[in-house]
Amino acid sequence: MNLRTTFALLVLLVGGGAFLWTWPMFAPKIGLMPEPANPQGAGSPKILDEDLRAGRIREIKVRNGGETVELDRGAGDVWALPGKWPTRKAEAEELVGLISGLHSRFAVVPLTSSNADLHQFGLDPSQHPVMVEVKGEKNFQLAFGEPETAETGPFGRPTYVRIGDMSEVVRLGPGIIPILKRPREYYLRRQIFPDADRVKFTDSKPANPFGPSPEAPSGTVLIPLVKSLAVEGPQGKVVLKSEEKPVKLANPDQTRARMDPLQLAEQWEIVEPFKDRADPEKLKALLSAIPVLWAEQFAPSDPGAFLASSLITAPLDGLDNLNSLFDGKLPNAWTDWLLQRTGLDKPEYKLTVTLANGDSIALHLGKVVRFTEKMGTPPPMRPGMPPMPPPIIREEFRYARLDGQPIVFEVKAGKILDLFPAGNVLRDDKLARFQGKDVNKIEIKQPGGTIVLTKEKDEKGDKWRVAQPIQALGEFEKVTELLDKLAGLEARDKDVIDNPNLKDAGFDPANGIQISLTLEEELPGPGETKTKRNRNIAFTFGKQDATAKKVNVRVSGRERVNAVDESAFKLAERPALAYRGRRVLDFDAAGVAKIDVKRAAESFTLQHADSDWKLTAPVAVAADKAKAGNLADDLGRLEAVEYVNDAPKPEDLAKAGLDKPDLTATVAFADAAKSAQTLLIGKQREMKPEYFAKLAGGTSIFVVKKELRDAIDKASLDYRPLQLWTLAPDDLTGLRVEREKENYELKREGFSWKITKPFDAAVSGGQALPIVDAIALLRLLGYQAHTAANLAEFGLDKPQLKLTITANEKDKDGKEISKERTLLIGKAVPGKPELFAKLGDDPAVFRVADSVLLNTNKSALDLLDRKLVLVDSRRISKIERGGTAKMTAIKEGKVWKIQSGTVSFPADEPTIGAVLRLWEFLQAEKIAAYGAGVKLEEFGLNPPADTLTITVDGDADMKPTTHVLKLGKPTEGNARF
């Protein structure tokens, strides 16, 4: 390519660019291109971009043919339909966002003589454009239309908007008209009162043995966020006001807290037709019925559809409606006729709610539209009974509307009785709601003085004390009786006086009895926690009506006067002594350090430490834990049978024997902060089994039971343990027995016993068992003296029996050791089957049962086995008798023959059978002597007076054995092999 060609191309390129740059300016002038639109137009873009911002809009009204959709922005930027009808939030915000977010995709189109025809934009009145009226800081009228034909297919149809009568239109994007044409029902929220708390209530009813515990939650309930509400119905008008500012949660599905119905009732007050508190459960039912009010369905907005619907749902009502259309008497306006036919021109029920933002919404309920029936849950099966049919649940639907709204809809009226109670039904019949367990202090102001009762808590539980005018333990049952009576006080109907004349009712001046309660309550808190609060309740008693047996009572915080049963007043006027408990001393035995008892005969001290009791005076020995503990328990639960004198004079004390009491018990405590308590017991009450008594630091004389006095008036000997040792029979390993004429020793070998001195011999198991058991399981019958100055007095200077035992025991470290003890048994206790006894190393004398001596005072020979021989009589083949009457019995086959000298004859079977059985269990009646050193001639056994010899056949491989029985002096019947 040469230079001229290159230059020519550059000229053409520059010329083409200049043509393209200047063409838009010249083309309109020569008619080859439309005149360009002014981008600033006549001000429409400014209005759309700035004046129609969301924050500046207060009201939007969309008219689409015959239906109008209105949205009003109330307090808190909440959009609602007229009459404060709640909207569906997302849908309402979409419409507001559409209006506030309009912007042009193309240039503004001015309206000139060439395009003044609005048909091309769909804005001609004959095309029924959508009209939108926007009110806010400035008011605007907007007309929206679409061309009849799309430019580039169905999605290429733009939307045009004209603001007022401005000489221009703005071209917008497609898809706007369908949003603007949405019907009013699209924006309606069916839940009429949507703002509510999700509250989990705890059951405030008493415990049911067959149901859940009182603390069991009764489920999550919706409670409306409202400042006040008014209900008007056939039973009158009731207005309630909330004393707590409602706060809307950021998350509507969040559960705010657990709550007791009483807490809910404390937040509300009935202000009309009277001022009072509401019943917690009835208030809960009323409030929880409001959020569940729903528009079940909307009534048709034109006469034809309404008539058709009513003819289907309720034919009789539908025919009545049809007749009214043609009777010539219907009102001119369709709306008036609709309200008349639905009963909403003169509604039977009206609910007015003031929301948290101050807006009020009034709901009118008219005639019943229809009923529906459905099957409920069948009752549970009962054993042996046929199944019960399920109940039929009938539901009622009524016409309804909101004030300021032409919309008529249906609501389910199943909870209408909860929503519209009479004032006297809704009010709380109870004078005050509290639980006795939460009361910590009671103050009773009486004309003669003030009684103060306080509650204390310890490891045993709650207990009441009289703090004024006396200091004493309180009677729990009497205090509970008073609290139960106050908690149960109720008044209703004619027994409630509103706007009372306080002077006539006996409260001006308030000089009657007043009872003030101080409570510490535990209430549900956030989550699963609990919170505590303090509360005061005051009951004031006024005028009494003797004829009706009633008394007027007022409660703090409530204006009304209540006429209640006079029994409450009788409890209120009880004196302080009526609340003083019979419990004189009240302490835990575990906290006792020592007990000092002074009796006429002696004084002694019991010391307590580390769960052990010791007798420290008059001797220092271990004490019986059970007996010492019982004494401490008896004193710790000391109760008076009756108080007889609260201000005794010296002569009164002397008469009761309390000036110089014969019996006192002083209890000292391990806790040094606790003062010791001393009980004085005096004379016996005349003609009654009771004794006068008083506390050393107290003034009142009271009487105690004889059983308590006898329990304290025990000798120190009674507190010594009756168990000398803790042994099992198998723990004994040795025994030395010292009797008047013999001594011998026993030793355990395995499971058997044997005599080791003065001779060696096995001991019969049956003979050893009684003596071993009597020693190992020895239990005393009582102590006679701590120290015996004269042992001869008890026969212990020369005891009948001395037993020295050796036993295996465990020391305090658990190590097994062998220990030796000596038991001395003396003479018999006069007139009793008992014996005096003592240990060899202890001066105390005690008593044991005479069976101990009977089982242990045996000679060594008595312990030997008295069985002489044990043979099988069927194997005896020969019996020989020596001495003067010699004789031989021989078994031949199955027959026995007797040979005596030269005479032989068959033996008598019964007689020979008896002789054979004698040898099977041959046993000595008594063993007279034992051992190799026995002098047989002393028993007539050297030589013997007679002998008996038997021959016993052995088994096949064994030789026969022979047993010889030598008989001595026949008069004594002594015998020896």
- Give residue 438's pLDDT band: very low, low, confident or very high (50, 70, 90): very high
| Amino acid identity, position 886 | K
What tens digit of pLDDT does each residue of 861-877 get? 787 877 878 888 788 88
Q: Stretch 800-812: mean pLDDT, rounded?
A: 87
Is 60 exceeded by the pLDDT of residue 35? no
> Mapped to the 3 state alphabet, what secondary structure does 416-470 carry?
HHHHCCCHHHHECCECCCCCHHHEEEEEEEECCEEEEEEEEEECCEEEEEEEECC
What tens digit of pLDDT does each residue of 457-486 get? 876 778 898 998 888 888 888 999 999 999
The percentage of residues in the chain with a pLDDT greater than 90, rounded to a whole number, is 32
What tens digit of pLDDT does each residue of 750-760 get? 888 888 888 88
pLDDT of 496 reads 93
What tens digit of pLDDT does each residue of 511-568 get? 789 999 999 988 887 777 788 899 999 999 999 998 999 999 999 999 999 999 999 9
pLDDT of 326 reads 53
Q: Stretch 710-734: mean pLDDT, rounded?
A: 90
Residues ≥6 apart with Cβ < 8 Å to 97? 54
Burial of 825 (0-12, 13-18, 19+ CB in 10 A): buried
Distance separating alpha carbons of residues 199 and 221, to the nearest angstrom: 5
State the Cα angle at 261 between 255 and 265, rounded to 5°.
110
Distance separating alpha carbons of residues 646 and 775, to the nearest angstrom: 56
Which residue in this structure is represented by tokens 């028993």? 939
Number of H helices, E strands in the chain: 21, 56
Q: Between these two residues, 259 and 682, which has the higher pLDDT value?
A: 682
Contact 886, 804 (CB under 8 A): no
- Give residue 33's pLDDT band: very low, low, confident or very high (50, 70, 90): very low
pLDDT of 629 reads 92
DSSP 210: T
- Give residue 42's pLDDT band: very low, low, confident or very high (50, 70, 90): low
Q: Stretch 698-705: mean pLDDT, rounded?
A: 90
Contact 898, 907 (CB under 8 A): yes
Residue 903: enclosing H or E segment and its boundaries?
strand 903-906
Cα dihedral 271, 275, 280, 282, rounded to 10, equals -60
pLDDT of 86 reads 80
What pairing do the DSSP bridges indicate for beta strands 196-202 and 255-259?
Answer: parallel
- SS3 call for 180: helix
pLDDT of 977 reads 47
Question: Does 830 sit behind a cis peptide bond, omega within 30 degrees of 0 on the bond before it?
Answer: no
Q: Which of 590, 762, 585, 777 is nearest to 681 (CA)?
A: 585
Burial of 827 (0-12, 13-18, 19+ CB in 10 A): middle
Length of the chain: 977
Q: For the residues of 608-649, what is the DSSP string, one character each?
A: EETTEEEEEESS-EE--HHHHHHHHHHHHT-B-SEEEESS--
Task: Return the minimum-mean-pLDDT range out of 448-452, 504-508, 673-677, 970-974.
Answer: 970-974
- SS3 call for 681: strand
DSSP 354: E
Residues ≥6 apart with Cβ < 8 Å to 935? 942
Is 80 exceeded by the pLDDT of residue 23? no
- As a whole number, the mean pLDDT across the chain is 83
Is 70 exceeded by the pLDDT of residue 974? no
- Give residue 21's pLDDT band: very low, low, confident or very high (50, 70, 90): very low
Q: Between these two residues, 269 and 871, which has the higher pLDDT value?
A: 269
What tens digit of pLDDT does each residue of 311-344 get? 556 555 555 555 555 554 444 455 676 777 788 8
Task: Return the minimum-mean-pLDDT range out of 13-17, 309-313, 923-927, 932-936.
Answer: 13-17
DSSP 474: B
Q: Stretch 58-65: mean pLDDT, rounded?
A: 88
Q: Where are the beta strands (DSSP E) in 74-145?
A: 79-81, 85-86, 109-110, 130-136, 140-145
DSSP 972: T
Q: 525-562: b or e for each residue (b if 16 or more CB lie within 10 Å)?
A: eeeeeeeeeeeebebbbbebeeeeebbbbbbeebebbb
What tens digit of pLDDT does each residue of 155-214 get? 578 889 999 989 899 988 888 888 898 888 888 888 888 888 888 887 644 444 434 444
Q: Stretch 814-822: mean pLDDT, rounded?
A: 86
Tokens encoding 400: 């309804």
Residue 285: enclosing H or E segment and its boundaries?
helix 280-289
Residues ≥6 apart with Cβ < 8 Å to 276? 269, 270, 427, 428, 498, 558, 559, 560
Is 70 exceeded by the pLDDT of residue 409? yes
| Amino acid identity, position 32 | L
Cα dihedral 362, 363, 364, 368, rounded to 10, equals -170
Q: Stretch 831-850: mean pLDDT, rounded?
A: 92
